[in-house]
Structure 1
């Protein structure tokens, strides 16, 4: 197996497993306001997140920037909390009450995309901690960095697709109101984020 394939698989499995549940919960919160018809906007949103975490993943892995892993472990649940609060505010304003109406936002440079990119900067530092453990003393891991990042991206896309499909089944098949879906998913993610944050602050 090639180095590229090995690190591609490592990146995919790092994001697509329950041990990365903090990142999974963030993706759930990020996609909660959207339905399957919004897939173009979701792709733009996830791409913005990817741009953010790719930057800091590369910089931290190559030792260009230094950071406190403890601080990052605190900031990751904060990104989830803020995303959930924005979702709940959106639900309170009545946005997206029907499953058939796409979310009316600009596709490029919309504030959710910019915010996702900023939050991606934080999550990228979390990814880099794991990748640096894999690399050991290797100083120029260009192929490993690229393939690991692609693996993470593939894992994210699978997770996002599953979230959108679940939402489609509930909204269209079981006639769940879009606002209720947003409230339940964001509320659940908010609760998990609070537990994670308290665990980091009190642990």
Structure 2
């Protein structure tokens, strides 16, 4: 459901051919804004980032990762089972929540490189996008410009989602409840990630 392709969108894409930039920009933005697993991961990534410079670095790494695998995955018709790739995306949410509460330092004695992790999980998120784009059964006529337009839409959607998250976080951080509830919020995010993993693996085995 996190990457659901509506029947109306799918039917529209199947009917058109050639370069249709604006529709694909719209679809990309819609896909990111309604992809709650992407949004959860972004929420975790910026949870303890206060400086715009640092936020820009991590969001850029994530964008680089998912843009690369999304475009290459569709162009070379690399399809991955949507249940499995979405389960991995759910695990990325779990990972980020554990990272935020310092679990890896306590368990492993060191801190994994958060920038590399963000880039790697971005690659998996991109395969989640490409897998769903392949379901659109896009015409090869105008494929490259349409893919680029979809990616532009994804980035627009990501920026819009990020703006909403940052506005909410900026107000929350000013209150005493942030320090009290930051740990709980990340545990809740981790639980949501495990639920996503369970849902996707159940779908995989049932289907």
- Class of the TM-score when normalised by the shorter of the 2 chains: 0.7 to 0.9
Inter-CA distance 61–9: structure 2 relative to 1 (3 Å threshold): same
Aligned to 2:191: 191
Q: Hey, what's the Cα distance between the residues in 1 that align with 2:141 and 2:118?
A: 29
Aligned to 2:161: 159
Aligned to 1:134: 136
Q: Give matches, 1:31-180, under 5 Å.
A: 31-35=46-50, 38-63=51-76, 65-89=78-102, 111-138=113-140, 141-172=143-174, 174-178=175-179, 180=180
Aligned to 2:31: 14
Q: Hey, what's the Cα distance between the residues in 2 that align with 1:122 and 1:141?
A: 22
> How many residues in Structure 1 have an aligned counterpart in Structure 2?
180
Deviation at 1:135, TM superposition (A): 4.4
Deviation at 1:8, TM superposition (A): 0.8
Query: What TM-score results when the alignment is normalised by the length of structure 1?
Result: 0.79
What is the root-mean-square deviation in Å for CA atoms of aligned residues?
2.4
8 Å contact 1:87–1:182 — kept in the other structure?
no
Instruction: String of CA shifts for 1:88-129, please: whole Å, max 9, x gaps.
Output: 117x98xxxxxxxxxxxxxxxx93222111001000011112
Q: Hey, what's the Cα distance between the residues in 1 that align with 2:26 and 2:178?
A: 37
Aligned to 1:4: 21
* Structure 2 SS opposite 1:16: helix
8 Å contact 1:33–1:182 — kept in the other structure?
no
Deviation at 1:32, TM superposition (A): 1.1
Deviation at 1:200, TM superposition (A): 2.0
Q: Hey, what's the Cα distance between the residues in 1 that align with 2:87 and 2:141?
A: 28
Aligned to 1:101: none
8 Å contact 1:56–1:121 — kept in the other structure?
yes
Inter-CA distance 79–197: structure 2 relative to 1 (3 Å threshold): same
Query: What TM-score results when the alignment is normalised by the length of structure 2?
Result: 0.78
